């Protein structure tokens, strides 16, 4: 979710669900320790619970990055062992780390020694053609021995040669049964399933076998599905906010951000899918994507775009 789940996106998603745990985009240890930490770590306190996802393979650097994340107030530090991009392959981290479980265990131990908050691992179920169950089982077992208690399992293998990152999200087959088997073999661990879950029905079906589910692109492209998460998956009694209410809340946020120098496009790009599946969605996206409209309407762009749709009865009832 690099370049997607930034702080503006997370604030927006928090307006839809009070209980879902939010994750940052992956931030490398180099960016945190040698760049501008504020740029990568700043977040609104309304985002809690929120986890910082880091990428790297040097134990000392990861320990420092975890300490930095805890100091900024994150609730969890997540080590990415699943990203298959060429960039992470050149840096020998991400999915490459699955081939080195002892190294990952050492890194996790260094991170746990540095902080008092949970350190978790997100990983694939295989790398290239190493797809037998024993491979991921031994990876999880080795890292668990170092103290990791939560594993987020993207239920596809990562094919590092011959596939793009996009193809790696689509071509290797989904094998949810691997996550189910991990939970059976490691009942004391929390196993969270990720990959290809597009609806709350699909998520609920998997929760019969594992401890949690992670939604990625489905929640980004159709964010309003998060509005039903609290009631359906967390048994919360709070009313579901309407899209109109979300627009009002995000307009207040946008006004604050613009007053501090943020360009409106950096916020509104995350709301393009708010009306996904509703009549008028195309017009909504067109308004928020038009540079001229953004320049003209500024912090009021969400309200004005919504007002163009207000005469549609289907939207008034949404």
> Average pLDDT in the 120-141 region?
94
- CA angle in degrees (0–180, nearest 5) for 75-78-82: 155
Residue 220's Cα: distance from chain center in Å? 9
Alpha carbon separation from 246 to 101, 218, 232, 250, 271 (Å, rounded): 43, 18, 19, 6, 10
**Residue 170 pLDDT:** 76
Least confident range from 3-7, 139-143, 185-189: namely 3-7
* Residue 84 and residue 57 in contact, taking contact as beta carbons nearer than 8 Å: no
pLDDT level of residue 69 (50, 70, 90 thresholds) = very high
| Other CB atoms within 10 Å distance of the CB of residue 58 | 18
Helix (H, G, I), strand (E, B) or coil at 47: helix
pLDDT tens digit sequence for 85-109: 666 555 567 888 999 999 999 999 9
pLDDT at residue 136 in the model: 97
H or E element at residue 280? none
What digits encode the pLDDT tens for the residues 155-182?
999 887 777 777 877 788 999 999 999 9
Residue-level pLDDT at 314: 54
Q: Where are the chain's structural domains?
A: 7-220, 243-316
Distance of CA 91 to the CA centre of its chain: 21
Is 277 a residue whose pLDDT tops 50? yes
pLDDT tens, 19-36?
999 999 999 999 999 988
* 189 band by pLDDT with thresholds 50, 70 and 90: very high
pLDDT over threshold 50, residue 274: yes
Phi, psi of 313 (to 5 degrees): -60, -35
The percentage of the chain sitting over the pLDDT mark of 90, rounded to a whole number, equals: 81
Residue 148 is among the residues annotated as catalytic for this protein: no
CATH of the domain spanning 243-316, picked from 1.20.120.1460, 3.40.50.280, 2.60.120.10, 3.30.70.260: 1.20.120.1460
CA-to-CA distance for 218 and 211, rounded, in angstroms? 20
What does the pLDDT read at residue 88?
A: 58
Strand bridging mode 50-55 / 22-23: parallel
Q: Which residue is catalytic, options 9, 81, 83, 96?
A: 83
CA distances from 20 to 37, 115, 144, 191, 203 (A): 25, 23, 24, 16, 13
How much of the chain exceeds pLDDT 70, in percent?
94
Mean pLDDT of the 284-289 span: 95
Domain made up of 7-220: CATH architecture = Alpha-Beta Barrel (3.20)
Question: 203-229: per-residue pLDDT in tens?
Answer: 999 999 999 999 999 999 999 999 999
Q: What is the pLDDT of residue 4?
A: 84
Q: Does the pLDDT of residue 198 top 90, yes or no?
A: yes
Does the pLDDT at position 128 exceed 60?
yes
DSSP 174: P
Q: What is the pLDDT of the chain when averaged over all its residues? A: 92
Question: In sequence order, what E strands does the chain have?
Answer: 22-23, 27-28, 50-55, 76-81, 119-123, 126-127, 150-154, 157-158, 190-194, 212-214
Same fold flag, 7-220 and 243-316? no
pLDDT at 315 over 60: no
pLDDT at 3 over 80: no
What is the rounded distance in angstroms from the CA atom of residue 97 to the CA atom of residue 125? 12
The H-or-E segment that residue 82 falls in is: none
Q: For the whole prediction, is pTM greater than 0.75?
A: yes
What is the model's pLDDT at position 96?
A: 87
């Amino acid at each position: 979710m690099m370049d997607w789940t930034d702080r503006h996106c997370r604030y927006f998603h928090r307006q839809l669900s009070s209980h879902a745990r939010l994750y940052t985009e992956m931030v490398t240890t180099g960016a945190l320790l040698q760049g501008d930490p504020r740029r990568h770590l700043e977040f609104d306190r309304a985002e809690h619970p929120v986890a910082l996802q880091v990428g790297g393979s040097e134990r000392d650097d990861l320990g420092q990055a975890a300490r930095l994340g805890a100091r900024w107030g994150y609730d969890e530090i997540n080590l990415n062992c699943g990203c298959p991009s060429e960039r992470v392959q050149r840096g020998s981290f991400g999915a490459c780390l699955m081939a080195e479980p002892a190294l990952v265990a050492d890194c996790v131990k260094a991170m746990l020694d540095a902080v008092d908050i949970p350190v978790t691992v997100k990983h694939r179920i295989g790398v290239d053609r190493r797809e037998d169950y024993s491979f991921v089982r031994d990876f999880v077992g080795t890292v668990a021995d170092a103290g990791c208690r939560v594993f987020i399992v993207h239920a596809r293998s990562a094919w590092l040669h011959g596939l793009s990152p996009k193809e790696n999200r689509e071509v290797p087959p989904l094998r949810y049964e691997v996550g189910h088997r991990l939970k059976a073999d490691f009942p004391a661990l929390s196993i969270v399933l990720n990959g290809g879950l597009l609806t709350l029905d699909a998520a609920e079906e998997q929760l019969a076998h594992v401890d949690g589910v992670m939604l990625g692109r489905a929640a980004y492209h159709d964010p309003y599905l998060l509005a039903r998460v609290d009631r359906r998956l967390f048994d919360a009694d709070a009313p579901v906010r309407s899209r109109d209410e979300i627009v009002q809340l995000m307009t207040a946020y946008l006004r604050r951000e613009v007053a501090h120098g943020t360009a409106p496009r950096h916020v509104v790009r995350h709301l393009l899918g708010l009306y996904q599946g509703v009549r008028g969605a195309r017009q909504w996206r067109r308004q928020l994507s038009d540079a001229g409209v953004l320049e003209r309407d500024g912090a009021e762009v969400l309200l004005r775009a919504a007002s163009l749709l207000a005469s549609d009865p289907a939207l008034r009832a949404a």
